[in-house]
Amino acid sequence: MVQAKTWVLKQHFEGFPKDTDFELKLEQLSKPKDGEVLLEAVFLSVDPYMRPYSRVRMQAGDVMIGTQVAKVIQSNNPSFPVGCHVVGQCGWRTHNVSDGSDITKVLDAWPQSVPLSHALGAIGMPGLTALYGLEEVCAIKPGETLLVNAAAGAVGSVAGQIAKLKGCKVVGSAGGDDKVAYLKELGFDQAFNYKTVSSLEEALKNASPEGYDCYFENVGGPFSSVAITQMKAFGRIAVCGGISLYNDTTPQTGPYPQLQMIFKQLKMEGFLVSRWEHKNEESLKRMLTWMQEGKLKCKEHVTVGFENMPAAFMGMLRGENIGKAIVKV
């Protein structure tokens, strides 16, 4: 018998999450049966989507949802030998028994020089989200101008770099001077701190007086209302997230974008990364090559200790991280 530590959602979040919304529990796991493997978590991910998904995908008492990089420590499944590493939808657990249906082996070509934690970031779900948002939703083209908000986060920082690789002008918005400095290191053409500018409208105009062809939306709310007015005709908006809305107890209202969308003939499309799952292996290989060539960089905000999962999650929602927020067990 193996004992797993788990973090459960003690009660649904009301407003911003609190320590008392989580509970650390122990779970007894049986030995893996035929076709099953026993996993031990190495790195766990904390991501913005967990906040809204907890309301629609979870009940009080459920183990918190989430992805991890884990090591196979016992195996009765030849597809996952002992010692290999996998990415799994195992939730906030230190150990898990899987039949293989909810795990994927880390790429065979994964180089030793690239930390395995990047399988939760730039060479994982956030990186794929950035790639598909640009290629599949925005259909971005060389010479176009892209606006990215939450641009120093796990998704936004990769989206900006991919757009630069494709020959685009990139403008990024972030919530701190240190984050703005990071965006400039990554090669963003323009970057600003939305918390300190006197006028968001003027900041967007100054960064790109001619407007924006594409907008990678991670924030929603008032930022979106202003940004939509700066779009060029036939602009495309990929709606990836709306982190400014996730902790509201009263839904935000207006302004409403319909007239701007009609007059400028804009396309706005929400998307989930899983839509293009059939492309993941090829896409991850592309991004891994970019990273090895020095064309794709990523920073991590690492919290040590499984006991600190809630603190890492809440810190990420407060914007304390630059790049990908992960927990090292």
Amino acid 170: pLDDT: 98
The residues that bridge with 82 in the sheet, in sequence order, are none
d(CA 211, CA 182): 23
Domains of the chain: 2-121+298-328 (3.90.180.10), 125-273 (3.40.50.720)
Amino acid 109: pLDDT: 86
- The pTM of this model reads 0.96
Strands 190-193, 169-174: pairing kind: parallel
Amino acid 141: pLDDT: 98
DSSP annotation string for 179-215: HHHHHHHTT-SEEEETTT-S-HHHHHHHH-TT-EEEE
Half-sphere exposure of 264 (CA within 13 A, CB side): 23
pLDDT in tens, the chain (329 residues): 799 999 999 999 999 999 999 999 999 999 999 999 999 999 999 999 999 999 999 999 999 999 999 999 999 999 999 999 999 999 999 999 999 999 999 998 899 999 999 999 999 999 999 999 999 999 999 999 999 999 999 999 999 999 999 999 999 999 999 999 999 999 999 999 999 999 999 999 999 999 999 999 999 999 999 999 999 999 999 999 999 999 999 999 889 999 999 999 999 999 999 999 999 999 999 999 999 999 999 999 999 999 999 999 999 999 999 999 999 99
The alpha carbon of residue 271 and the mean position of all alpha carbons in its chain are separated, in whole angstroms, by 13
Cβ distance 310 to 16 under 8 Å? no
C-alpha distances out from residue 233 to 143, 169, 217, 262, Å: 15, 17, 17, 10
Amino acid 254: pLDDT: 86
Amino acid 1: pLDDT: 78
Instruction: Count H helices and E strands in the chain, helices first.
Output: 9, 15
9 sits in the region (left: phi over 0; alpha: psi -120 to 50; else beta) called beta
Instruction: Say which residue the tokens 């002008």 belong to.
Output: 169
